[in-house]
Amino acid sequence: MMKTSALLGSVALLAVVGTTPAAAQFRQALDVAQQTVDEGSASQQRVEQLDDQASELLGEYRANLKQRDLLRRFNVTREREVQNQLADIRGLEQDVENIQGLQRAVTPLMEEMLQQLEALIAADIPFLAEERAERLDRLRTVMADSTQTPASRYRLLIEAFQIENEYGRTMEAYNGVVDNGGEELTVEFLRIGRLALVYKNADDTILRIYNRDTGQFEDLDMSFLPNIRQGLRMAKEQTPPGLLTVPTTAPVEVSE
């Protein structure tokens, strides 16, 4: 009986001794399996990270493609604008050349216009002599001033011609001083267009009209005095316009 128990104890001991390496191998296998699982999980995470990075890079790539397309369209638009601006510059350069050529042609024309204006005033009846002479002096000064543009010179010339043209269709009354036998006499002038220039003194004892042929003021028959008085009132807008009877001479043709 004791032999049997000893034998069973020996077998049990052998069984325990015999199973110890297997348990270690099993634990080792479990460790390897766990390591494999961990590595697989890490690999999966890495794959997911790479996938996220790839998606992000793909999004950036598409955004860059879109930006490139926008920049390309912008460059095309800018190129058209640059070409249009270059065309405008060429047009402006051509305009400058044309203006310079026009200025060279206009300057002699303006000088001729000034000469014609001077001749017109010289041949005209001598009304507002100082005012018109000062206007001519200003025009000569402007024409000789290199700082003045051709446009400003031309404008002043046209204004002077317009003023002279207005004289031909208006009546005017103004005061002035004339030489009366070596003494100054204050008189009242009446200009009727460019047809007649008459003056009288304050007490109506002197009545004279300008004679184009002689270039002098000559006595006018006193029978015209009522008409001259009426003309003065009309020029001052003190009475409505009406018909006047005054002697006139034929206009003088201005020589070229």
Torsion angles phi and psi, residue 145, rounded to 5: -90, 115
What string of pLDDT tens digits covers the 256 residues of the chain?
544 444 444 444 444 444 567 778 778 878 777 888 778 788 788 888 888 888 888 888 888 888 888 888 888 888 888 888 888 888 776 766 666 666 677 888 899 999 999 999 998 999 999 999 999 999 999 999 988 888 889 899 999 999 999 998 899 999 999 998 889 999 999 999 999 999 999 999 999 999 988 889 999 999 999 999 999 999 999 988 888 887 776 555 555 5
Q: Which helix (H) or strand (E) holds 196?
A: strand 196-200
Domain boundaries of the chain, sorted by first residue = 24-69, 105-165, 171-235
Measured N-to-C along each axis, helices 150-167 and 129-144 cross at an angle, to the nearest 10 degrees, of 160
| CA separation for the pair 30, 39 (Å, rounded) | 14
Cα-Cα-Cα-Cα torsion 70, 73, 74, 79, nearest 10 degrees, comes to 160
Handedness of CA 82, 87, 91, 93 (dihedral sign): positive
